[in-house]
Structure 1
Amino acid sequence: MEFAIHQSLKTYSGGLGFLAGSHMRSAYELKQNMIGIGMLWKYGYYDQVRTEDNTMKVLFRKKYYNFLEDSGIMVPVYVNNHQIYVKALYLRPEVFNTIPMYFLTTDIDENDHLAQTITHRLYDSNTATRIAQNLVLGVGGAKVVDALGGADIYHMNEGHALPLTFHLYQKFGHDLNEVKKRVCFTTHTPEKAGNEEHNIYQLHQMGFFSNLPLEEVRQITGIDTDSFSHSLAALRLCKIANGVSELHGKVSRDMWGENSGIAKIIHITNAQNKTYWADKQLAGNLASGDDEALFHRKKHLKKRLFETVADQTGKIFDKDVLTIVWARRFAEYKRADLIKRDIMRFNRLINNDKYPVQIIWAGKPYPFDYNAISRFDHLVTSSYKTKNTAVLVGYELALSMLLKQGADIWLNTPRRPREASGTSGMTAAMNGAINFSISDGWVPEFAEHGKNAFIIPPTDPTLPIDQQDTNDYENLMGILENEILPLYYDRPKEWEKLVKRSMLEVTPRFDSNRMADEYYELMYDYHE
């Protein structure tokens, strides 16, 4: 449903898109026999801008791309018993160094206005529109693949493309085994509540099941309730599935394992494309062992980030001060403001002359999540009062790159185990930022406390939410005040050693070339 390929191509919201973009780049580098199918969102996700008082504003603005070519492919799809047309636009590999990609749109003259709006907004808040988007991606995407000559394997990244499976079921004469041997499924959401479910009768009415009788849909998916789980159906209609970290694989097996007839769930840990994300000079200095040049370059990258801070907020940050960055999709469970839980202690932290700090927040809330937007705005207004805290808007690929290259500490504070992977810390580490994180997602596979990262000890996830937050906050502040700040300021050579080890150990394990290779070997070529 989303691909983060380049700053100029706004077809993504957050980590799911960042991951998919890196996969397309690594498949290109490895010369894998693949294509990518995505959606061309006319208004993107949204543009995150500021109102007159500097709080956040959601702006939906039309996007135009002269680098996407008309593929000549237009296919019919039935939505709510109404035939619409889906056009495929082609992204050549040489434009952004990806495998060949096709982006689907319904915003064409052949469709009426309502049909044109299907591909306007990523994750539209209207349920019927979301279902229609799934149909365009799943059925429209499958028909585009057919027009290109067909495919042996279809990889669904999350359950959004699930109508694909019912289209294939019809295509292969209602032979479920023929469907299963062609479909792989990746789940990214470690909570049942976060996995998409819709009323089965509404799905049926809209053509989600390729006009199969509901009795047959229930038979092949094993779902006999009226609330239809996309993820559970996907797990029963694929040959193999995966979670996106070792921990998430276990969580997924525990979460879905009680259901009969599901595919084997393995794990393939997410990763990010080093060629795209890692600063070339930093990587070169590390490889040559030129420590002086390495840390001179890191200071330069901090200054470059601080130019954006000054431009957006009017604050001048200091390249010699420890800089903490919290930046990612702005969801409640990620706890952007955890570090401010005790405001008196936070004020002592940011007013400490001996061990000064600078803190930057950035991230996009879902455009209709008003609680998350309110939390973002509270950070904005409270940051007015301090010279060394800032909140940035426009968290997309370009700003993400600046933040990761300019951060000293990459702060990650989700409630465990709700973070399936959390890949931003990988690209931060590639750029000389130290992960300071809850032990969730990919982090347990990488981090050694005090050696290449700092880990906030896990709290008991069965405790009340407020108690979990208190425990995590106390551990966070204790490590920051007693370990990180003294190390950075009093023992700079040890800090440099920590940075270098982090940069060395994040690759190749968390470079997406490894990930793309594992998908091919463990998923696409999998046979029971």
Structure 2
Amino acid sequence: MLSKAEIFGYTPSEEFAKPVAYFSMEFAIDQALKIYSGGLGFLAGSHLRSAYELKQNLVGIGMLWKFGYYDQVRTSDALMKAEFVEKQYSFLTDTGIILTVPVHDYPVKVKVYLLKPEVFGSAPLFLLSTDIPENDEMSRSITHHLYDGNETTRIAQSILLGIGGGMLLDALELNPEVYHLNEGHGVALGFYLYAKYKSLEEIKKRVVFTTHTPEMAGNESHRYSLLKDMSFFYHIQEHEAKYILGMDGDDFNFTLAALKFARKANGVSKLHAEVARQMWSSNPGVCDIIAITNAQNKKFWTDKELAAAIDQDDQEAIVNRKKALKKDLFKIVADQTGKLFKADVLTVVWARRFAGYKRADLVMQDWERFEKMVTGTTYPVQFIWAGKPYPGDHGSIALFNHIISRAKPLANCTVLTGYELGLSDALKKGSDVWLNNPRMFREASGTSGMTAAMNGSINLSMPDGWVPEFARHMENAFVIAAMEDQSAPEAVDKQENRALMTLLEEEILPLYYNDPEKWVQILKTSAQDVVPAFESARLARAYYEKMYLG
């Protein structure tokens, strides 16, 4: 059995001595460990990195996905294609632990690996895998694909994370005083804890919860009968699960259950916390929902040379380093697409998890106006798109490919594939403007703009998620005017497209070329304002102070 010294490799500080277990379906810790899909994983990865830097007594519980999320490659005609390739990780430690977790009343064997803190500079992370010879092929497939498209496999993944994670902590005798559910995927943990404590009140003393989804349809739910058949409720019956949580009906909502198991929850921005309270407060028995805004780890994300130039207020060094970082990005552009971008041209990047509400093509909506802008010679501009649609979301994949097709004839517009930590890093360092234009109140937080700001890329954003807490138009960011009435999506898209294009044509492009000193001043203010307010040391401290100890 691993000792605590072997697990941590450091002595937790007295300030953060309370033991915590942090459950997440995905963690983006390093490009080499491909067990994440997007923002949820980026947040969890930065959290674990800052927990390590602060020497917090926190361990992560996650899943070892055999094929990761997917590898984003291209078809013969340069459109997007999802490939599933087995991953190998020699840097993980085999703990020797094999658990037995009931799934569908069948004993599934679960092998446990450990990512030790010294490997990538993160708090210890335990990863669960069913892909071992002791299991049949169906059981082995549970940990093959992150967010598997099959409903029963997805449920089995949640059972594994929640119940398997709880079993592991008991096997290790870590005895966490706080179980932190990062999103509702691991909510089956509550039923494992009920088997131990026989009391909802005892569970609520120990569980906290972070919700990330500001729309009802995005919160996972399944039929009670199916969950019961799959052993989701561990050793209790369907009617007991309903009684314990006071949740009737045919469907079990993961988020609502987590809010009832927890003593405290948080939204991931001030705006999102307000939305979450409106969504859930009418349900009896839900806990308080406070705001702890997401953040990202500066040490991992920031270019040190650019950061030093900003700290020293050296405009020449800032401009020169930014051009060098743009050239690094443009090597990727040339390699992937055969297009040669120029370092002295304003470069706008839209890059994040690909979903319809994020409106990747908003800037293209009035095609004639867009084409006129990108072919103009007075104020030249370059556009890059990147992101990963869910591999089963055919609408988002079609949109991704539509943008590829539209950009193909334009020498200064392109779409990159392979959007993971490494490409995300290059795009943030190599862009001048970071474009974020979701439909209002749909983005719970959004973290990509934080790390863009750390690297001298100025946010051009809707005032959604974390942005209202940060952005001051023309001082540290550019804010797109949102339409007051959001009830008619087509009208909203048209008006907000006009607002975006006008901002680009009349303010951003002229400013970049005509007043470089003011541009650099906005860049510096942005980089200075984003830290420490949106650096993950603040987040890791806030979780201890407001959720774990409070």
Query: How far apart, in 2, do the equivalents of 1:431 and 1:224 lie?
Result: 49
Matches within 5 A, 1:25-424: 25-149=49-173, 150-172=175-197, 174-424=198-448
Q: Tell me which moved more, 290-299 or 33-42.
A: 290-299
Query: How far apart, in 2, do the equivalents of 1:494 and 1:285 lie?
Result: 16
Q: Secondary structure of 1:11's partner?
A: coil
Query: How far apart, in 2, do the equivalents of 1:519 and 1:215 lie?
Result: 34
Contact 1:335–1:414, Cα closer than 8 Å, also in 2: yes
Contact 1:2–1:38, Cα closer than 8 Å, also in 2: yes
Q: 1:497 aligns with which of 521, 525, 537?
A: 521
Q: Secondary structure of 1:36's partner?
A: strand
1:15 corresponds to which residue?
39
In structure 2, what residue type is equivalent to 1:389?
C
Q: CA shift at 1:461, angstroms?
A: 4.8
Q: CA shift at 1:462, angstroms?
A: 3.6
Query: How far apart, in 1, do the equivalents of 2:380 and 2:313 lie?
Result: 29
Q: Secondary structure of 2:233's partner?
A: coil
Q: CA shift at 1:375, angstroms?
A: 0.7
Contact 1:184–1:239, Cα closer than 8 Å, also in 2: yes
TM-score (norm. length: structure 2) = 0.95
Q: CA shift at 1:460, angstroms?
A: 2.9
1:450 corresponds to which residue?
474
Deviations 1:496-527 (A, max 9, x none): 1111111111100000000010001100112x
Contact 2:195–2:235, Cα closer than 8 Å, also in 1: no
Q: Secondary structure of 1:4's partner?
A: coil
Query: How far apart, in 1, do the equivalents of 2:487 and 2:399 lie?
Result: 23
Aligned in 2, Cα 1:461/1:34: closer, same or farther, shift over 3 Å? farther
In structure 1, what residue type is equivalent to 2:195?
Q
Query: How far apart, in 1, do the equivalents of 2:493 and 2:57 lie?
Result: 46
Which consecutive segments of 4 or more residues in structure 1 shift more than 3 A? Answer: none
Aligned in 2, Cα 1:120/1:461: closer, same or farther, shift over 3 Å? farther
In structure 2, what residue type is equivalent to 1:45?
Y
Query: How far apart, in 2, do the equivalents of 1:372 and 1:461 lie?
Result: 25
Contact 1:245–1:442, Cα closer than 8 Å, also in 2: yes
Contact 1:322–1:356, Cα closer than 8 Å, also in 2: yes
Contact 2:163–2:189, Cα closer than 8 Å, also in 1: yes
Query: How far apart, in 2, do the equivalents of 1:237 and 1:295 lie?
Result: 51
Contact 2:473–2:479, Cα closer than 8 Å, also in 1: yes
Q: CA shift at 1:407, angstroms?
A: 0.4
Query: How far apart, in 1, do the equivalents of 2:200 and 2:517 lie?
Result: 61
Aligned residues: 525
TM-score (norm. length: structure 1) = 0.99
Q: CA shift at 1:222, angstroms?
A: 1.4
% same residue: 56
Contact 1:416–1:461, Cα closer than 8 Å, also in 2: no
In structure 1, what residue type is equivalent to 2:388?
K
In structure 2, what residue type is equivalent to 1:430?
M
Q: Secondary structure of 2:34's partner?
A: strand
Deviations 1:124-174 (A, max 9, x none): 0000000000011001111111112121110000000011000000011x1
Query: How far apart, in 2, do the equivalents of 1:421 and 1:241 lie?
Result: 15
Q: Could you say what the CA RMSD is over the residues aligned between the two structures, in angstroms? A: 0.7
Query: How far apart, in 2, do the equivalents of 1:256 and 1:373 lie?
Result: 32
Contact 1:413–1:438, Cα closer than 8 Å, also in 2: yes
Query: How far apart, in 2, do the equivalents of 1:96 and 1:462 lie?
Result: 43
Q: CA shift at 1:211, angstroms?
A: 2.6
Contact 1:428–1:434, Cα closer than 8 Å, also in 2: yes
Q: Secondary structure of 2:402's partner?
A: helix
Query: How far apart, in 1, do the equivalents of 2:217 and 2:549 lie?
Result: 31
Query: How far apart, in 1, do the equivalents of 2:255 and 2:114 lie?
Result: 29
Deviations 1:269-319 (A, max 9, x none): 000000000101111111122221121101000000000000000000000
